[in-house]
């Protein structure tokens, strides 16, 4: 006796593939929503800061126009206001600081990622990151009280042997005198840049170290298997892979250096002159100008200070944005196997 199977319905003859839902549920949805809200709040806060500075500084920009960017003096009582001198001074301190911080950050990042023993790496990383937690005023006092006398001696030596180069010349200084005038060599952009360099070094080092750690292990082992030394492997594999991270980390640190305030106020002697001589006494930066004039400023002077702050905000925002683009477009910013 034979039995027949139950007749299958027409719907069961054709099975549709089940669509996979990408919608987060439960705790994943909470995490995704929280991360999205935090990211959006950062953009909102940054945008509101820029709008506030632009709105408050608009009366000054409207009154002085291009003269606000070409005038060197800051004399509110005489109705003479300009940021040309402090803008140049900002870049003098920032660039000088990065000239010192870049090789230190790169060397430290390479040592931690490629040379340091595995048991020592966490300690070194913590020590470098701890530098970022030191308050700015501590770096300022360290630079003014401990580093400045030695930096002045170095400036005298540079002026003696390289003073024929305009950037190293110190006007009014006489390095050949039996007792050189230390006042002309202290309280300079160079002294301030030393403190700023120590402050931005952890940021640049952290970005470079993170990028170097993403170098494909297979490529490193292949270079070593072909007979390359450790430095040869670094030069042929690690550095090319991390080029974008090196540039991005340096630019991020530069943005921080341009906006440093307290350390510069404690060290740099305020002066409104258009010059690019870091070893000479005197100078000023936008952030130091705002910090030193904010308490005694009237409403119109406050608008001028906020206009200067708006210019610094746009500069740092542009540098940081460009750094992020470079890192993301580089090979180190992409996924690796």
* Structural domains of the chain, ranges and CATH numbers in brackets: 50-333 (1.10.3720.10)
C-alpha to C-alpha distances, 209 to 104, 125, 243, 250, 284, nearest whole angstrom: 12, 9, 12, 12, 33
pTM of the model: 0.84
Would you tell me the crossing angle of helices 243-258 and 189-213 to the nearest 10 degrees?
Answer: 150
In sign, the C-alpha dihedral spanning 241, 244, 247, 250 is: negative
Report how far residue 121's alpha carbon sits from residue 119's, in angstroms, rounded to the nearest whole number: 6
Looking at residue 336, its pLDDT comes to: 46
Looking at residue 79, its pLDDT comes to: 84
Confidence of residue 228 (pLDDT cuts 50, 70, 90): confident
Q: Above 90 in pLDDT, residue 275? A: no
Looking at residue 337, its pLDDT comes to: 45
State mean pLDDT over 134-138: 90
Q: Above 80 in pLDDT, residue 64? A: yes
Looking at residue 24, its pLDDT comes to: 67
Joined together, the tokens standing for residue 229 give 């030394």
CB of 212 within 8 A of CB of 239? no
Looking at residue 100, its pLDDT comes to: 94
Q: How far is CA 6 from the centre of its chain?
A: 74
Q: How many CB atoms lie within 10 A of CB 235?
A: 13
Non-local CB neighbours of 220 within 8 Å, separated by 6+ positions? 233, 237, 238
The predicted-structure confidence for 284-304, as pLDDT tens digits, reads as follows 999 999 988 888 878 888 889
Q: How far is CA 35 from the centre of its chain?
A: 25
CB of 240 within 8 A of CB of 301? no
Q: Which long-range contacts (CB under 8 A, 24 or more apart) does 160-168 make?
A: 166/277, 167/276, 167/277, 167/278, 168/277, 168/279
The predicted-structure confidence for 148-163, as pLDDT tens digits, reads as follows 888 888 888 888 888 8
State mean pLDDT over 120-141: 90
Q: How far is CA 80 from the centre of its chain?
A: 32
CB of 167 within 8 A of CB of 276? yes
Report how far residue 247's alpha carbon sits from residue 88's, in angstroms, rounded to the nearest whole number: 22
State mean pLDDT over 172-184: 68
- Average pLDDT, rounded, for the chain: 85
Q: Above 70 in pLDDT, residue 14? A: no
Which residue do the tokens 């072909």 mark? 226
Joined together, the tokens standing for residue 84 give 């040309």
């Amino acid at each position: 006796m034979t039995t027949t199977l139950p007749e299958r319905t027409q719907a069961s003859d054709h099975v549709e593939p089940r669509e996979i839902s990408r919608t987060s549920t439960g705790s994943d949805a909470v995490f995704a929503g929280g991360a999205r809200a935090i990211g959006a709040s950062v953009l909102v806060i940054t945008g509101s800061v820029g709008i506030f500075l632009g709105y408050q500084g608009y009366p000054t920009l409207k009154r002085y126009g291009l003269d606000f960017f070409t005038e060197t003096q800051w004399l509110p009582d005489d109705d003479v206001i300009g940021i040309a001198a402090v803008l140049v001074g900002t870049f003098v301190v920032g660039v000088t600081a990065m000239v010192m911080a870049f090789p230190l950050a790169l060397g430290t990042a390479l040592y931690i990622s490629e040379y340091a023993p595995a048991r020592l790496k966490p300690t070194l990383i913590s020590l470098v990151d701890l530098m970022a937690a030191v308050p700015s005023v501590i770096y300022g006092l360290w630079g003014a009280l401990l580093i400045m006398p030695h930096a002045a001696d170095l400036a005298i030596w540079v002026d003696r042997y390289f003073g024929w180069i305009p950037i190293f010349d110190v006007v009014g200084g006489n390095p050949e005198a039996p007792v050189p005038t230390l006042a002309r060599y202290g309280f300079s952009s160079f002294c301030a840049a030393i403190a700023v360099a120590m402050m931005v070094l952890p940021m640049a080092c952290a970005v470079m170290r993170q990028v170097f750690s993403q170098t494909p292990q297979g490529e490193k082992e292949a270079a070593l298997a072909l007979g390359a030394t450790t430095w040869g492997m670094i030069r042929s594999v690690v550095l090319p892979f991390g080029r974008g991270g090196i540039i991005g980390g340096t630019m991020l640190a530069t943005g921080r250096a341009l906006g440093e305030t307290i350390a510069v106020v404690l060290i740099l002697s305020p002066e409104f002159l258009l010059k690019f001589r870091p070893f000479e006494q005197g100078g000023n930066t936008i952030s130091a100008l705002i910090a030193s004039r904010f308490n005694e400023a009237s409403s119109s002077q406050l608008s001028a200070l906020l206009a200067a702050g708006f210019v610094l905000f746009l500069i740092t925002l542009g540098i940081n944005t460009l750094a992020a683009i470079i890192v993301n477009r580089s090979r180190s910013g992409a996924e690796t196997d």
